[in-house]
Amino acid sequence: MRNTAIGLASGAVLGSGCQPTQTETQVSEIDPNRKYRWNMVTTWPPNFPIIGEGCERFAEWINQMSGGRLQIRVYGGGELIPPLEAFDAVSTGTAQLAHGSAYYWAGKIPAAQFFASVPFGMNAQQVNAWILKGGGLELWREIYEDFDLVPFLAGNTIAQMGGWFNREINSISDLKGLKMRIPGLGSRVFEKAGGSAVLSAGSEIYTNLERGVIDATEWIGPYHDYLMGFHKIAKYYYSPGWHEAGTALELIINKSIYDELSPDLQEIIASAAGRLNQEMMAEMEVKNSEYLELIRSEAEVEIRKFPDEVLEVLKAKTSEIIREMTSNDPLSARVYESFRKFKEINKPWSDLTERVFYTEIA
């Protein structure tokens, strides 16, 4: 029996030597002398804290892990192309990859908004779970394939604040005619509730709020809001960020170009995107905690919660907007159904654990 076992083992070794495994085949496809020089465009201002800085770190990680075989130059919005042209630039191959958020492409793919943020939707942890392990990623890649793009989850703003206001919000009637800078699905909900949504570049928000062009603005959270100086010109800071409870950010790569990469470089990109996703959320949590205290100590700002009546109306209007979207766009209906099912399945678990922890223990 011992001799037979040895003979079988020897035969297995010889057999494997004659027929290369999949791993060996992949390794043989790697050309260590071939180098790639890619341009990465973003929707963020140059050197934008945490998010734009994260893109720079992403490029550094790729360079290090690939041994210099894949080098990426990062351009802030407007440095190479206008910020909101990033999708088209990568789709056509003008740039190899981009970083932004899927709700910026609502005019091209309405369903894409569900991969960024849904008002009264899910938090960052839940969005991560749905996209990565709950069926979201497969749908995301399917709807981007027609544009020759491959999306990766690559960051999250975590829960945002509800925004800065120059007037009190005590009832839903206070939203009537109020001009607010707010993007995505939230802007449609806000308008349905009686407000007036205004879209403007980040560089214009402070001046618009200071001069009364707008009455309110949402941005991100205490850290970025403090850097923008909103606490110097607005009196009321409202919570929660009903419109963006955990906004996912994306890395998009031209699919034809991506498919030409060797398997190891593709895995390096996926690993770097995953690292960026985790580090960005962690840094957001740290900085927002720190800068909320600075706002409280330095500014005469009243930090308030939206009245329950206002949140209830906004939630009802959100349901109306989503019904309109899904009835008119089969793709939106399909994606939202996946989103809704995951949220429904996850709710009993989150109610039993995290909701109880935050409301009764922490």
User: Domain span at residue 263?
Assistant: 34-156+246-285
In a domain, 319, yes or no: no
In a domain, 59, yes or no: yes
Could you read off the pLDDT of 44-70 as tens digits, one per residue? 999 999 999 999 999 999 999 999 999
In a domain, 161, yes or no: no
In a domain, 109, yes or no: yes
In a domain, 92, yes or no: yes
| Number of domains observed in the structure of the chain | 1
Could you read off the pLDDT of 196-248 as tens digits, one per residue? 999 877 778 999 999 999 999 999 999 999 999 999 999 999 999 999 999 99
In a domain, 348, yes or no: no
The three state secondary structure string of the chain is CHHHHHHHHHHHHHHHHHCCCHHHHHHHHCCCCCCEEEEEEECCCCCCCCHHHHHHHHHHHHHHHCCCCEEEEEECCCCCCCHHHHHHHHHCCCCCEEEECHHHHCCCCHHHHHHCCCCCCCCHHHHHHHHHHCCHHHHHHHHHHCCCEEEEEEEECCCCCCEEECCCCCCHHHHCCCEEECCHHHHHHHHHCCCEEECCCHHHHHHHHHHCCCCEECCCCHHHHHHHCHHHCCCEEEECCCCCCCCEEEEEEEHHHHHCCCHHHHHHHHHHHHHHHHHHHHHHHHHHHHHHHHHHHHCCCEEEECCHHHHHHHHHHHHHHHHHHHHHCHHHHHHHHHHHHHHHHHHHHHHHHHHHHHHHHC
**CATH code for the domain in which residue 42 is found:** 3.40.190.170
Per-residue pLDDT of the chain in tens (362 residues, 90 and over written 9): 344 443 433 333 334 444 545 544 455 467 888 999 999 999 999 999 999 999 999 999 999 999 999 999 999 999 999 999 999 999 999 999 999 999 999 999 999 999 999 999 999 999 999 999 999 999 999 999 999 999 999 999 999 999 999 999 999 999 999 999 998 899 999 999 999 999 877 778 999 999 999 999 999 999 999 999 999 999 999 999 999 999 999 999 999 999 999 999 999 999 999 999 999 999 999 999 999 999 999 989 999 999 999 999 999 999 999 999 999 999 999 999 999 999 999 999 999 999 999 888 87
Please tell me the pTM assigned to this model.
0.89
In a domain, 85, yes or no: yes
In a domain, 255, yes or no: yes
